[in-house]
Structure 1
Amino acid sequence: MNKSTFSFRSIPGWAYTVALVGVLYLTGLHTEVIGQVQRLLLATGLKEAEVSAPVTAVSSDSESAASTSFKRAGTGFEMVRLDGTPVNFESLHGKVIFLNVWATWCPPCVAEMPNIQSLYEKVGSEKIAFVMLSVDEGGLAKVQKYIQKKGYTFPVYLLASAMPQEFESASIPTTFIISPAGKIMHTQVGLAQYDTEEVRNYLLNLAK
């Protein structure tokens, strides 16, 4: 009588896939793995952020007039830095603001961070403020650990009050470019490549 023998070859391919996915989720590595795949997509240039033609410099009189005709984005919004320092979003008005809403558990957020870091290193200044706004619910420690592990130097904040309606989005990452007058000039929902000549010129011209 022939005894049936067990062989790994008898295990269907989908079972290996299910097992691999299970291990990734149990170890928490799925975010990084998916993020790496999406990072490769960004490297192809297929997901570059599309901004309108570079804006020209706006006079201070025009800025003042514009600021009185609408509610400035983020008015009354409170945030907290990773070191626990409270920050009022309104304190950034007068600068161009690059606001990115993200979370550590979000693969596309993780994927686009290296190119945002690169953009920050090239154009971040007293006139262009970066706000990497985490919506993680695990508290400061979780986000601090992630940022330190990755070595990012852009400014990171967490919510200290309700998210303003103008910054709400059905999905993340979502990025807003806000003028010195507090007007949202551009909104990008989803993964994108920001460290491009087009985006750099847009930010620099908006800051003039």
Structure 2
Amino acid sequence: MGILIGILTLYWLGIKRKNMENLKIWLRKNASTAVLTVLFIIVLVNKDAKAWLMRQVASTGILNSSISEPQKKQNNAAKVSYTGLMLKNEEGKIVDTSALQNKVVFINFWASWCPPCRAEFPSVQKLYDQYKNNPDMVFLTVNLDDNVSLGKSYLKEKGFTVPFLTPAGNIPDILYSGSLPTTVVLDKKGEIRMQHIGVADYSKDSFYKQIDELLREKP
């Protein structure tokens, strides 16, 4: 970073031709350093570049969260009251949360300006494609952009077809504490079996197997 600042300072001060030649010589000798510096700057300022880098890290599996075993004792289980979760669909209509009863529910809170959200969204789409026709599985991909049109534009631009939902009231703290992205998986009893904050890869076979196990469980 210090090298790049030094180069820019010389430029804006109106360096002479001789100094420019010296600069060219330095760049030839330190080409790899200059390239890495430029790439670092691009990653810092470009949301898609950040998302790509995070996606490579997530693909290793080191950031992933696993679905937990069911709680044996009811008083130890974190359950969600669907009546406290109010959402609107893309047309602005309130979602009937009673339809979530006895379903495995995948909830993802995201925003278009959030690089980690962008990084994991392709895997969320793949998960959706894998289970969208399963009658026992429901996807709630909840957009938290201040400007709803930005979220819609992002999905359209990238060709994502997951449900576009927005909050129609306060989001229960048990589901979302303010960090993006946040992903929650509920079993058929409404118990939280996974809650992951940060980027992850949900398109791995290992995660599909965990979802399949949840789908086989009885309400």
Shorter chain as normaliser: what TM range? Answer: 0.7 to 0.9
Q: Which one of 37, 42, 59 corresponds to residue 58 of structure 2? A: 42
The TM-score with structure 2 as length reference comes to 0.73
**CA shift digits 1:125-182 (9 cap, x unpaired):** 211111111111112x221111111111221211111111111224211110011221
Structure 1 segments unaligned to the other structure (5+ residues): 56-61
Matched, 1:198 2:211: no
**CA shift digits 1:22-43 (9 cap, x unpaired):** 9x85xxxx22110011112223
1:45-194 correspondence runs (5 A): 45-52=61-68, 72-124=80-132, 125-139=134-148, 141-194=149-202
Structure 2 segments unaligned to the other structure (5+ residues): 1-14, 28-33
CA contact (8 A) 1:73 1:184 kept: no
The TM-score with structure 1 as length reference comes to 0.76
SS at match of 2:83: coil
Q: Which one of 49, 55, 64 corresponds to residue 33 of structure 1? A: 49
Which residue identity lines up with residue 121 of structure 2 in the other structure? M
Q: Which residue of 2 aligns with 1:59?
A: none
- Relative to 1, partners in 2 of residues 1:4 and 1:151: Cα closer, same or farther, differing over 3 Å? closer
Which residue identity lines up with residue 197 of structure 2 in the other structure? V
- Which structure has greater helix proportion? 2
- Which structure has greater strand proportion? 1
| Matches of 2:40 and 2:206, distance apart in 1 | 43
SS at match of 1:201: helix
| Matches of 2:105 and 2:138, distance apart in 1 | 5
Name the larger-Rg structure: 2
Which residue identity lines up with residue 7 of structure 1 in the other structure? M
**CA shift digits 1:162-206 (9 cap, x unpaired):** 111111224211110011221111111111111222321222221
CA contact (8 A) 2:66 2:194 kept: no
Q: Which has the higher contact order (CA 8 A, sep 6+)?
A: 1
CA contact (8 A) 1:77 1:88 kept: no
Matched, 1:4 2:16: yes
CA contact (8 A) 1:76 1:88 kept: no
Number of equivalenced pairs: 189
RMSD: 3.3
Q: CA deviation at 1:89?
A: 3.3
**CA shift digits 1:12-71 (9 cap, x unpaired):** 959x7599559x85xxxx221100111122233333332336x6xxxxxx9xxx6xx975
Which residue identity lines up with residue 93 of structure 2 in the other structure? T
CA contact (8 A) 1:109 1:173 kept: yes
| Matches of 1:19 and 1:134, distance apart in 2 | 29
CA contact (8 A) 1:99 1:176 kept: yes
Percent identity over the alignment is 26
| Matches of 2:87 and 2:100, distance apart in 1 | 12
